[in-house]
Amino acid sequence: MMPEYKSPSGSKKPIWYSVVLLLSLLLNGYLLLRPSDHRQLLDGDNRKGRMLISENRGWSRRAADEAEAVAAQYQCSGHGYVFVDTFLTDHNGSFVCECNPCYTGPDCSHLISDCVVDANQGDPTFLEPFWIANAEAGATVVPAWYRMSYDVNNALEYSATSPELEKQIRALHEMVGNAVTKGRYIVLGTGSTQLINAAVYSLSQAHARNPSKVVAAIPYYGSYRDQTEMFDSNDYVWKGDARAWVKKSEFLNSSTFIEFVTSPNNPDGLLKKGVLTSKNVKDIYDHAYYWPHYTGIPRPANEDIMLFTLSKVTGHAGSRLGWAIVKDYDVYEKMYDYVEENTLGVSHDTQLRTTILLKAIVNGYKQKKQMEKRHTDEKQLLFHYAYSVMRNRWQRLEKIFSGSHRFSLQSLEPRYCTFFKKVTGPSPAYAWVKCEKEEETDCTGVLRKAGIIGRNASVFEADKRYVRLSLLKRDDNFALLERRLQALVS
Amino acid sequence: MMPEYKSPSGSKKPIWYSVVLLLSLLLNGYLLLRPSDHRQLLDGDNRKGRMLISENRGWSRRAADEAEAVAAQYQCSGHGYVFVDTFLTDHNGSFVCECNPCYTGPDCSHLISDCVVDANQGDPTFLEPFWIANAEAGATVVPAWYRMSYDVNNALEYSATSPELEKQIRALHEMVGNAVTKGRYIVLGTGSTQLINAAVYSLSQAHARNPSKVVAAIPYYGSYRDQTEMFDSNDYVWKGDARAWVKKSEFLNSSTFIEFVTSPNNPDGLLKKGVLTSKNVKDIYDHAYYWPHYTGIPRPANEDIMLFTLSKVTGHAGSRLGWAIVKDYDVYEKMYDYVEENTLGVSHDTQLRTTILLKAIVNGYKQKKQMEKRHTDEKQLLFHYAYSVMRNRWQRLEKIFSGSHRFSLQSLEPRYCTFFKKVTGPSPAYAWVKCEKEEETDCTGVLRKAGIIGRNASVFEADKRYVRLSLLKRDDNFALLERRLQALVS
């Protein structure tokens, strides 16, 4: 029973007062507790949702906990990985490790003894330990509603390119000193792979009488040929080895040539210049490997079109992000339009992650500078780490091959590196192995018999006495490669 | 002073005991506290790093805190966004909102009064409020070392496609009932945009005497033409309106035709079938809009090649992820190879995010089923939410145009939807507006004068009496569009 209440005026509250109060309280309760269904969202006002985001912090916790839990729980003996989208599960529904090649078992602890080692692909997974050591700086959280639009609204215009990413790309080149970006345009691609044909397309003239001739000096990266041939365009055509055209001035003067120059070169790691010179020759410089990991940096590159890829600088090949630095506005615009037409831009999820990864690299060096300590944070220095790994691998290879008359490695010279401010020894991405014995004309086959898969010289249109071995893969892979090579050479 | 200690044997500890202990403690201290520099990482063993990840939880916290902080701090008056890679900052270094078009000011609170409303692009940002409301289920955390390799190692073979994503795509179609996936192959693309030319390439014969003729019935989505023309291939050529070829049996019998069929159609929202029939005609069905948001689903689509895109189902256009469901293995393989050659696969960051987003949709419905409550979780039901928004917008448009003799909307019928298990009214992605007055032959121009940017009919090779208006954009955009149309029509 409700006690009677005396108001300041002294009057007694009648019974209806209690009833109304009760009804009002019930209504309050209903209004407060009624489900916030999707009609709320239909009010044409996303402010409510936004306020919810402000009040209900912790929306990232589920995803963060999941990602951390699998990373912590599944060590895979150091020979494999589990991610939140790892698809293999055992009969209990627990994840099963994605093992490195040649390792097996639910925790990847078993090394398959007679396993063939795959040194074919340029998969830059040697940088995984660096990112594991820099897990905090390199982590990316993507909110559910993050950049759902095709474009970034940058106040002045819409663009498929994130201005912040562009800024980080410029900052990285500035710090490393490997490319001039001032006054240059930057176009993103789904890997520099996409930019190969974007550049060819942009340098060719549509419906020209003579299609442009696309060339590269042997040995060259096979994708230039494969892409150009796949697109089978009326406007450009693959014409093989650039050196074959050097003396054919009647052609050089009458049609457009597009020459791919890879520097350092894939496969052999040498710094290169274009071999064709004529006013009709347009160069595309692929500088995928022009980083202190792989070569001393003599000076900032300053070519008309320069391709770079995230894959070979941070090791994130799976993210598919590349960029071109372009001098000429019209060429830039045609490349940008090509990417828009081909894929409607580049994933913004990846643009965000790339922004964070590049920032982590630059910040690592900034922190070092601030702290002025030599050792405390070297594990935060990407280029120092990456160079150490690649240099170490190359030295080990040189040792293996040093006494051999049957095999040889390409010859690379020490070089002054403006980034490290000292002379650095060779640290190429690939070994370009030659079989020296007269009868061993198929070097890929020779290595294959010894349990090593290399990349066939024909991919580079080169003499089959050569074979390319990737030095970019995981420690597990390199250790096995070393073992097989040791057995073969000795 | 150290007190003397009596050992169990009763002997006194001499002074050297203390010295050794002190030295030992100092050594321990040094060993424990010495910097863990990158030499540790060079040991060829990433197990140490992995253990660190296990012991040092919380590596995701920095990124999570940053993402949550900007989301909470910057509300942008509900008319804009700030993300961690928002690039605009004020003189204090604080972020400045990326405002919706027609809104301005540091917090987007100011509506520009005479602003032209842009209803051109099919940017599906109407789904942002859904994902804000489902922030937890839709959040993605990408570890720094996540899938750095090009490929996923799925124990049997390497693949650029995440098996878990493929599983989620199949599960979503299964739940919605809009496409047969059993026994079909799935190939991913950087948006379905990339798959347009991938499909054309795969259906054409290289170096054929007659290049394949690529066609679509007017009004058609302009990218089919634009891409085919851009690639300017020897193997296929754009040949315009499919209907123009219906009666030309001499051509139909002598060369390969590739017909694009968009169903529901872009721009007019009608369900379509191919118009050409001959053994030489190969169809590519673009089912980007074949979801319960935009049309009743009469039955699961079951065509030879079907294109879908994340953009139009979850609204994540910026992520650039599409997929094709393919019956024939050889066509699948050629499409897969095309994507590998063109971009070396699709961003794994985006594949992860897509996996999580699709899982969130399916889980939303699963939870509803488990709870058997009608209202509590409707905001978790993507298709219910998306249909409600689109249906509401269409009804508002119909109301505006209902009395008009000057303008008309396309006519769409209610349809039984097997997903909603009821008849649903029209809810198309676009209005296909016709100017009915004889003298108004340029409908885009008429709307432009009224402050509305639509997409020109010529993009669809259609009569200029038509113009397409996007109904997919943010509430802000639709509200302005409504206001401008109201003023124009009345």
Convert the pLDDT of each residue in A107-131 to its tens digit.
899 999 889 999 999 999 999 999 9
Mean pLDDT by 10 residues, chain B (490 residues): 42 63 63 40 57 79 94 91 86 86 92 94 96 96 97 78 96 98 98 98 90 98 98 97 94 93 98 96 98 98 98 98 98 98 98 98 91 66 97 98 96 97 98 98 98 98 98 97 95
Measure B315 CA to nearest chain A CA, in Å.
6
| Interface mutation target, options B95, B323, B342, chain A, most CBs of A under 10 Å | B342
* Residues of chain A with C-beta less than 8 angstroms from the C-beta of B319: 148, 347-349
A367 and chain B: CB distance < 8 Å anywhere? Answer: no
**Residue A132 pLDDT:** 95
Q: Which of residues 274-303 of B touch A (CB under 8 A)?
A: none
B363 and chain A: CB distance < 8 Å anywhere? Answer: no
Q: Which of residues 87-106 of B touch A (CB under 8 A)?
A: 87-88, 98-101
Q: Chain A residue closest to B376 (CA)?
A: A35
Contact across the interface for B98 and A155, Cβ inside 8 Å: yes
**Residue A44 pLDDT:** 46
Are the CB atoms for B308 and B287 separated by under 8 Å? yes
Least confident of A168-182, A347-361, B199-213, B323-337: B199-213
Tokens of A349: 């999820």
Measure A287 CA to nearest chain B CA, in Å.
17
Mean pLDDT of chain A: 90
* Residue A485 pLDDT exceeds 50: yes
Measure A265 CA to nearest chain B CA, in Å.
20
Contact across the interface for A53 and B72, Cβ inside 8 Å: yes
Measure A297 CA to nearest chain B CA, in Å.
22
Report the Cα–Cα distance between both ends of chain B, in Å, rounded: 98
Q: 3-class secondary structure for chain A?
A: CCCCCECCCCCECCHHHHHHHHHHHHHHHHHHHCCCCHHHHCCCCCHHHHHHHHHCCCCCHHHHHHHHHHHHHCCHHHCEECCCCCCCECCCCCECCEECCCEECCCCCEECCCCCEECCCCCCHHHHHHHHHCHHHHCEEECCCCCCCCCEECCCCEECCCHHHHHHHHHHHHHHCCECCCCCEEEEECHHHHHHHHHHHHHCCCCCCCCEEEEECCCCCCHHHHHHHHHCECCEEEEEEHHHHCCCHHHHCCCCEEEEEECCCCCCCCCCCCCCCCCCEEEEEECCCCCCCCCCCCCCECCCEEEEEHHHHCCCHHHCCEEEEECCHHHHHHHHHHHHHHHCCCCHHHHHHHHHHHHHHHHHHHHHHHHCCCCCCHHHCHHHHHHHHHHHHHHHHHHHHCCCCCEECCCCCCEEECCCCEEECCCCCEEEEEECCCCCCCHHHHHHHCCEECEEHHHHCCCCCEEEEECCCCHHHHHHHHHHHHHHHC
Measure B410 CA to nearest chain A CA, in Å.
24
**Residue A106 pLDDT:** 85
pTM of the predicted protein model: 0.90
Task: Compute CA distances A165 → A354, A481, B196, whole Å.
Answer: 7, 37, 28
- State the complex-level ipTM: 0.90
* Residue A455 pLDDT exceeds 50: yes
- Across the A:B interface, residue pairs with CB atoms under 8 Å apart total 448
pLDDT tens digits, residue range A62-73?
A: 999 999 999 988
* Residue A211 pLDDT exceeds 50: yes
**Residue A374 pLDDT:** 57
Contact across the interface for A63 and B134, Cβ inside 8 Å: no
Measure A264 CA to nearest chain B CA, in Å.
21
**Measured distance CA(A202)–CA(A281) in Å, rounded:** 14
Contact across the interface for B54 and A38, Cβ inside 8 Å: no
Contact across the interface for A190 and B347, Cβ inside 8 Å: yes
**Measured distance CA(B72)–CA(A50) in Å, rounded:** 8
Nearest to B143 among A67, A87, A235 (CB): A67
* Residues of chain B with C-beta less than 8 angstroms from the C-beta of A194: 342-343
**Measured distance CA(B268)–CA(B220) in Å, rounded:** 9
Contact across the interface for B344 and A83, Cβ inside 8 Å: no
Are the CB atoms for B413 and B426 separated by under 8 Å? yes
Q: 3-class secondary structure for chain B?
A: CCCCCECCCCCECCHHHHHHHHHHHHHHHHHHHCCCCHHHHCCCCCHHHHHHHHHCCCCCHHHHHHHHHHHHHCCHHHCEECCCCCCCECCCCCECCEECCCEECCCCCEECCCCCEECCCCCCHHHHHHHHHCHHHHCEEECCCCCCCCCEECCCCEECCCHHHHHHHHHHHHHHCCECCCCCEEEEECHHHHHHHHHHHHHCCCCCCCCEEEEECCCCCCHHHHHHHHHCECCEEEEEEHHHHCCCHHHHCCCCEEEEEECCCCCCCCCCCCCCCCCCEEEEEECCCCCCCCCCCCCCECCCEEEEEHHHHCCCHHHCCEEEEECCHHHHHHHHHHHHHHHCCCCHHHHHHHHHHHHHHHHHHHHHHHHCCCCCCHHHCHHHHHHHHHHHHHHHHHHHHCCCCCEECCCCCCEEECCCCEEECCCCCEEEEEECCCCCCCHHHHHHHCCEECEEHHHHCCCCCEEEEECCCCHHHHHHHHHHHHHHHC
Q: Which of residues 15-74 of A touch B (CB under 8 A)?
A: 35-38, 40-42, 44-47, 49-54, 56-64, 66-68, 71-73
Measure A40 CA to nearest chain B CA, in Å.
9
**Residue B14 pLDDT:** 64
Quickly tell me which residue has 């970019």 as its tokens. A472
Contact across the interface for B320 and A190, Cβ inside 8 Å: yes
Task: Compute CA distances B184 → A459, B258, B351, whole Å.
Answer: 32, 20, 20
B204 and chain A: CB distance < 8 Å anywhere? Answer: no
Nearest to B38 among A139, A344, A388 (CB): A388
pLDDT tens digits, residue range A250-262?
A: 888 889 999 999 9
Q: A289: how many CB neighbours lie within 10 A of its CB? A: 24
Contact across the interface for B123 and A149, Cβ inside 8 Å: yes
pLDDT tens digits, residue range A291-330?
A: 999 999 999 999 999 999 999 999 999 999 999 999 999 9
Give the total residue count for chain A.
490
Nearest to B327 by CA among B146, B203, B239: B203
Q: Chain B residue closest to A102 (CA)?
A: B155
**Measured distance CA(B110)–CA(B102) in Å, rounded:** 8
Nearest to A167 among B44, B87, B142 (CB): B87
* Residues of chain A with C-beta less than 8 angstroms from the C-beta of B197: 342
Quickly tell me which residue has 């692929």 as its tokens. A286
Q: Chain A residue closest to B472 (CA)?
A: A149
* Residues of chain B with C-beta less than 8 angstroms from the C-beta of A147: 83, 318
One-letter amino acid of B69: A
Give the total residue count for chain B.
490
* Residues of chain A with C-beta less than 8 angstroms from the C-beta of B131: 143-145, 148
One-letter amino acid of A483: R
* Residues of chain B with C-beta less than 8 angstroms from the C-beta of A87: 154, 162-164, 167
One-letter amino acid of A18: S
**Residue B53 pLDDT:** 75
**Measured distance CA(A435)–CA(A454) in Å, rounded:** 13
Contact across the interface for B143 and A135, Cβ inside 8 Å: yes
**Residue B50 pLDDT:** 74
Measure A354 CA to nearest chain B CA, in Å.
10
List the beta bridge partners of residue A80: A99
